Structure 1
Amino acid sequence: MTTTDLVRAGRREWTALAALMLPTLIIAMDLAVLILAIPALGESLRPSGTQLLWITDVYGFLIAGSLVTMGTLGDRIGRRRLLLAGATAFGLASLLAAYAPTAEALIAARALQGIAGATLMPSTLSLLRSLFLDESQRRVAIGVWVTTFSAGTVVGPLVAGVLLQHFWWGSVFLLNLPVMAALLVVGPRLLPEVRDPNPGRFDLPGAALSVVALLALVYGVKRFAEHGADPVALLAVLVGAGVGALFVRRQRRTAHPLLDLGLFASVAFRVSVLVNIALGVMLAGIFLFVAQYLQLVLGMTPLAAGLWLILPTAGIVAGSLSTPLLVKRIPPARVVSGGLAVAAAGMAILAQLGSGPSFALLTVGMVVLAVGAAPASTLSVDLIIGSAPPERAGSASAVSETGGELGNALGIALLGSIGVAVYRAAMTRGVPPSAAGELAPDQLESATATLAGAYEAAARLAPAAGAELIDAATRAFVAGMQVAAWTGAAFAVVLAVAARVLLGRPGA
């Protein structure tokens, strides 16, 4: 038996990968199923607007804020132990959410889900690092992981739609229980226990600083996306940046840092984290527009829109699983760079969409974007965890996941804000006189703020005036989507060039 045979994964490791797909799928589905359940839970719990916002956002805030702490904790106490403890906590929090009697109770349950969810993602990714020592096999495993995460965002609305047709809103949370129970049964048998043999003392003050910094940054970015650059958003970002600077300073001075900043000495690590963030920006930003385009411009139901997004998911599957074959013939730097260039082409195709139905153009653009983004995502994740020492895989995985979460928030904030700015500028000077004369000031303000607001205002008008308002709003929305797509394409091209240059250097 050769040395290569000794490190190659066998049936047990691939079966363990199937077990790790379970929490990955649930985390990916969570927000999608909640969004579909909002109308039903709104009728039952009667949350205020602020409470409803926290029901949807507190989960993501706490995941993003806790990832670094939980990833490092897994390195210290054992990644399998943290994964199984997190699965138990996530299941219990899901049970509390399903039967929450009040909006306040649901917010608390969602907060617990967020903290528990932060234990799951870095644990699954770092365990992949331990299970698949062979580089080519690890890339296949990460491709499956990326595919599972992407598939969850499409499967979630479909499953939630079926559940909500037959059961109450809490049923979407009960979906998590059998999945987590299955993980608790098979996890101890299939997953190895891996930890840092010399972890040192846990940096509790550093953990507090990291949570505060990330919570403030993500909250500020999300606030910016929803309300613009108001004082609260600016203050949150400044607080996050300031506390983050204190965190970095402490990590450089303490004997046992929570986050090994030496990881960032690797060019491959730094560039891959940036690629991870950039992909989050592009995908989250453009999906925000595509979801509205399908439902508001083309008039699809949420379920139909979800079904339409299956084709891009197939593109992600193809791109992710073809990555190991590509890197056998093409250097990883060129695959990452080429993937970003293809993703830029997909964004450019989407920028050609007009206000009339164009299913073929939409499908081609989304599939090209997915096919390009998937290899870049798979390899960036592989480079992040592959460039870290095995004992720091949990910490490296947490950085990867944090980059993705931050990218998602930035995508909605940056590309979303660009689209909103274009929409408002167009509507400020483009509201038809027949509509402007009949709408109250607050209705006119709502119509010039969002496409959904324009639809609500149009329902109050005479049919002809309403149709004119919808036509103007649709053209304004599409113009904003086009500018956002071109911005994302330009961003991807710049990063493609940077990745090619930096990752192609010797020793990178």
Structure 2
Amino acid sequence: MTSDPGYAAPPLAGRREWWGLAVLALPTLLLAIDLGVLYLALPSLSADLDPSSNQTLWIMDIYAFMMAGFLVTMGTLGDRIGRRKLMLIGAVAFGIASVLAAYADSATMLIIARALLGVAGATLAPATLALISTMFADERQRGMAIGVWMSCFMAGTALGPIVGGALLQGFWWGSVFLIGVPVMVVLLIAGPILLPEYRDESAGRLDPLSVVLSLGTILPVIYGIKEIAHYGLTSTASVAIVVGVALGIVFVRRQKTLESPLIDVELFRGAKFSGALGIMVLGPVVMGGVGLFSNQFLQLVEGLEPLHAGLWLLPSAFSTVAGVMLAPTLAAKLPPSKIVAYGALVLAVGAILLTQVSAVGGLPVLVVGVCLVFFGFGPMAALGTEMVISSAPEERAGSAASMSETSSELGVALGVAILGSIGTAVYRGQITETLPPGLPEGQAAAASDTIVGADAAAEAVGGGTGEALITAAREAFTSGLNTVGAITIGIGVVLAAVAALVLRDRGTDTPPAEEQAPDEIKPVEIKPVG
């Protein structure tokens, strides 16, 4: 590598570290699966718990919101009390919350359980990536390990509906939560044996007020957006958004005064950092929204059983992994900014197909469109974190990595909330105008709320009126999907523009370690504990 006698090459990871990576891959895969596993369970869950449309959206997205809200906090806490220790505590909490969610007997209880799952998940997510950095000091091995970690997360996001479909084929909807229990048991047993402990002895204290302000910024704004989509611009929605923005300003100002802030806001001064972070938010927005509507389309419009619906989405899982794995290979020949831009354009092409999906015979177009969207997102997922971290000074790389992961989680949640709300609003607007005449008032109200309600109303009414109602509902829901596709086209174009213009000539291309001059190579100092 180098002839410099003063240079000490970092130690290579051995068998224990690679087995430890396999242990870390389990919670990573599980956390990603939990983001999408409820998509296919939604119809049976709705029939059992009878949630309102607003509660349905909260059931779907509260998990990701709480995880995103606590990621930076838990990452900072792990540095202070020990990353492995916090991860094992989180594993216990995740297992308990999984059982509570599986046996929830009301929509409210399920929302609370999902919120607890999100908080517990936030203790696991940053610890996995941080421990990988501790275990793999060699640059090449660390890059490979992070690639495996990212592939597990992306595969889990795409495979969530498939796992859910397989379980729902023979079990009740709560079974999709119980898969987390054995995974957490394995983590609790193997973690202390295979994973090192690490904590930063010089880290400053955790600022509780910053934690409160960060949550007070995210949650009210999202609540306001959901309220606008559900009821229009009401005073409640306006107040929530204003409060969230005001607390966000206070949060940013406080971070500037702290010696050990939750978020280093100075990083946002860099155009590349801000642009890359924007990509890490907008890309997952597409994944959340398209994933929600495509899964429901397969069951509620095509009428497929959960497992069959999951199998139809299997190509999208392979497409995601293909995009993730192809990006590093292309990065050896092209600047990452161009790879991300090209991927965004592929995503936009897939979204164009989604606008052409019809309620009758639209399955092939849907599957191809979703595959292109997921494949185009792959390079953003693979290179996004690298671009964010490399754009920050070396001493701030940890803070940059936390913000990158938080942005991805928040992006998925925003996609479910915002695109889900918009699609629902389109459904309601169209179904109200196309309800068949003579429909009882109660059935009309249920049908006007959600397509699940329309399906139940059509079955109750029966006959020609019932058939006309379900046809109208499927047409309205498909219009909502088409609208989400149209919005996704715009997001894809924006992503391509940000990558090509904002990140232009600011690529992170660096030669491999063997091609660097000796004085360019810096050993990584790791201080494990225990």
1:304-340 Cα deviation digits (max 9, x unpaired): 1112111100001111112211101111111111111
Deviation of 1:86 after TM superposition, in Å, equals: 1.8
Deviation of 1:494 after TM superposition, in Å, equals: 1.9
- Aligned counterpart in structure 2 of residue 185 of structure 1, from 177, 189, 194: 189
Distance 2:454 2:490 in 1: 30
Deviation of 1:232 after TM superposition, in Å, equals: 3.2
1:137-156 Cα deviation digits (max 9, x unpaired): 55544443333223334544
Q: Give the corresponding residue for 1:404.
A: 408
SS of alignment partner, residue 355 of structure 1: coil
Q: Give the corresponding residue for 1:489.
A: 489
Q: Which blocks of at least 5 consecutive residues in structure 2 are unaligned?
A: 509-530
SS of alignment partner, residue 358 of structure 2: coil
How many residue pairs match? The answer is: 503
1:74-93 Cα deviation digits (max 9, x unpaired): 23333333223322332344
Deviation of 1:18 after TM superposition, in Å, equals: 1.8
Distance 1:40 1:419 in 2: 20
Is contact 2:230–2:425 with CA below 8 Å preserved after alignment? no
Distance 1:284 1:103 in 2: 21
Is 1:113 the counterpart of 2:136 in the alignment? no
More helix by share: 1
* TM-aligned CA distance change 1:418 to 1:47, over 3 Å: closer
Distance 2:266 2:107 in 1: 43
Q: Give the corresponding residue for 1:255.
A: 259
Distance 1:472 1:51 in 2: 24
Distance 2:285 2:221 in 1: 15
**Mean CA deviation greater in 208-217 or 483-492:** 208-217
* TM-aligned CA distance change 1:116 to 1:394, over 3 Å: farther
RMSD: 3.5
Q: Give the corresponding residue for 1:231.
A: 235
Distance 2:153 2:346 in 1: 21
- Aligned counterpart in structure 1 of residue 93 of structure 2, from 74, 77, 89: 89
Q: Give the corresponding residue for 1:440.
A: 440
Letter in 2 for 1:77: I
* TM-aligned CA distance change 1:172 to 1:447, over 3 Å: closer
Distance 2:419 2:12 in 1: 43
Q: Give the corresponding residue for 2:473.
A: 473
1:207-226 Cα deviation digits (max 9, x unpaired): 22112222323333444455
Q: Give the corresponding residue for 1:346.
A: 350
1:245-276 Cα deviation digits (max 9, x unpaired): 11111111223322221232333322222111
- Aligned counterpart in structure 1 of residue 369 of structure 2, from 361, 365, 370: 365
Deviation of 1:123 after TM superposition, in Å, equals: 1.6
Is 1:76 the counterpart of 2:62 in the alignment? no
1:272-310 Cα deviation digits (max 9, x unpaired): 221111112111112222122211221112221112111
* TM-aligned CA distance change 1:234 to 1:394, over 3 Å: farther
TM score, norm. by length of structure 1: 0.86
Distance 2:16 2:323 in 1: 25
SS of alignment partner, residue 332 of structure 2: helix
* TM-aligned CA distance change 1:226 to 1:129, over 3 Å: farther
SS of alignment partner, residue 260 of structure 2: coil
**Mean CA deviation greater in 133-142 or 462-471:** 133-142
Distance 1:372 1:136 in 2: 26
How do 1:192-211 and structure 2 match up within 5 A? 192-211=196-215
Is contact 1:33–1:160 with CA below 8 Å preserved after alignment? yes
Q: Give the corresponding residue for 2:519.
A: none
Distance 1:101 1:443 in 2: 24
Distance 2:63 2:17 in 1: 31
Distance 1:366 1:10 in 2: 39
Deviation of 1:493 after TM superposition, in Å, equals: 0.8
Letter in 2 for 1:115: V
Q: Give the corresponding residue for 1:499.
A: 499
Deviation of 1:131 after TM superposition, in Å, equals: 4.4
**Mean CA deviation greater in 77-86 or 94-103:** 94-103
1:386-442 Cα deviation digits (max 9, x unpaired): 4456665554333223222332233234333443344344444444xxx22x11344
Q: Give the corresponding residue for 2:513.
A: none
Is contact 1:9–1:131 with CA below 8 Å preserved after alignment? yes
Letter in 2 for 1:474: R
- Aligned counterpart in structure 2 of residue 296 of structure 1, from 269, 279, 300: 300
Aligned-pair identity (%): 47
Deviation of 1:19 after TM superposition, in Å, equals: 1.8
Distance 1:326 1:8 in 2: 26
* TM-aligned CA distance change 1:234 to 1:71, over 3 Å: farther
Distance 2:434 2:167 in 1: 42
Is 1:305 the counterpart of 2:309 in the alignment? yes
Distance 1:482 1:452 in 2: 19
Distance 2:8 2:328 in 1: 17
Q: Give the corresponding residue for 1:382.
A: 386
TM score, norm. by length of structure 2: 0.82
Is contact 2:27–2:183 with CA below 8 Å preserved after alignment? yes
**Mean CA deviation greater in 399-408 or 341-350:** 399-408
Distance 2:343 2:335 in 1: 12
Is contact 2:217–2:247 with CA below 8 Å preserved after alignment? yes
- Aligned counterpart in structure 2 of residue 414 of structure 1, from 414, 418, 432: 418
